[in-house]
Amino acid sequence: MTGFGAASAAVPGGRVVAEVRSVNARFLELKLSLPREHAAAESELREMVQAAIDRGRVDVAVRREGTARGNVRLEVNRELARAYVEAWKALKRELKLDGEVDLSLLRASGGDLIRAVEAHPDLDRELVAIKRALRAALAGHARDRRREGVHLKADMRARIRTLHGLRTACAREAEALRPILAERLAARVAALIGAPTPEPSRLIQEVAIAIDRSDISEELARLGSHLQALGDLLGEQAPIGKRFEFLLQETLREVNTIGSKANHLPITKQVLSAKGELEKLREQIQNVE
């Protein structure tokens, strides 16, 4: 199921940001991007994501913002500064010069008196912040997917109701088909009896085949059971994606059998409509864990 979640947590000098994005996929495909200093924590963070998401192509990105990479401080080389001052004072005495030794003379002495030093972040504290941000991002991602799930559930329930209606129509058409099949069977038997050398075993075989091909009561019963199970799954809180897919396959099997056995145009139309609804459900279930 598609979804997005993002959150941040403060760290000295800046913040860390975690983003979670997912699109539809049959299995869990997880890509995790971290600052290189936290590569050792990848397995732990991966487990956090896997505990929250069972299915989908998931991209998780964690980055620093601001100066979280490391605070920069200025460091003065005091010993060198003292040496410069003493040298200027000695030169002043030796040459009997006027004036005082001040910062302007020190600035003219070169750029090695003051240097910028990067303070590396406290990785342990930063990892705690990353976990906090990731948990919040996963929670936001879950809320986003629940919002989409409400619409998906409503659509899937409507399609299952349509399939129940198509099943009822097939059952009604099957009842209406009985006298037509009886006429066909009577004509076939009459043709066989009128043959020069009718075979009793052939008669029995033709009758058995005709009855077996025309009776779809078992398929309709199983179809109703599968549709009920599909509706019940939509009410569960646990992941249902793989179980729903399996039931869809079994449901399609029964629908195909009904279409092949009935050999009756009105039932064939209902079967084609049912296949269309099942295909829509198959597409939708790709969005569901």
- Which sign, positive or negative, has the C-alpha torsion 242, 248, 254, 259? negative
Q: Token digits for 226?
A: 């599968």
Higher pLDDT, 104 or 174: 174
pLDDT at residue 235, as a whole number:
85
| pLDDT tens figures, 181-199 | 667 666 766 776 665 555 6
Band of pLDDT at residue 175, cut at 50, 70 and 90 = confident
Most confidently modeled of 93-97, 219-223, 235-239? 219-223
Alpha-carbon span 274 to 254, nearest angstrom: 11
**27 DSSP 8-state letter:** S
Task: Give SS3 for 133.
Answer: helix
Q: What does pTM read for this prediction?
A: 0.58
Q: Token digits for 254?
A: 């029964």
HEC sequence for 28-61? EEEEEECCHHHHHHHHHHHHHHHHHCCCEEEEEE
CA distances from 194 to 75, 103, 142, 186, 208 (A): 115, 127, 72, 12, 19
CA distances from 164 to 157, 224, 238, 263, 289 (A): 11, 7, 24, 21, 24
Band of pLDDT at residue 81, cut at 50, 70 and 90 = confident
Share of the chain above pLDDT 90, in %: 38
* H/E element, 274: helix 265-285
Is it the case that residue 206 has pLDDT exceeding 90? no
Alpha-carbon span 233 to 288, nearest angstrom: 12
Strands (E) in the chain, as ranges, are 3-11, 14-23, 28-33, 56-66, 71-76, 114-119
| pLDDT tens figures, 97-141 | 777 777 776 666 666 777 766 666 778 889 999 999 999 999 999
Band of pLDDT at residue 72, cut at 50, 70 and 90 = low
CA distances from 259 to 46, 166, 218, 264 (A): 47, 12, 13, 8
- Residue 264 sits at the vertex; the CA angle it makes with 260 and 266, to the nearest 5 degrees, is 115
| pLDDT tens figures, 225-277 | 999 999 998 888 777 878 888 999 999 999 999 988 877 788 889 999 999 99
| pLDDT tens figures, 10-50 | 988 789 999 999 987 778 899 999 998 899 999 999 999 99
pLDDT at residue 284, as a whole number:
83
Is it the case that residue 68 has pLDDT exceeding 50? no
What average pLDDT does the chain have?
A: 83
The CA R_g of the chain, rounded to the nearest whole Å, is 39
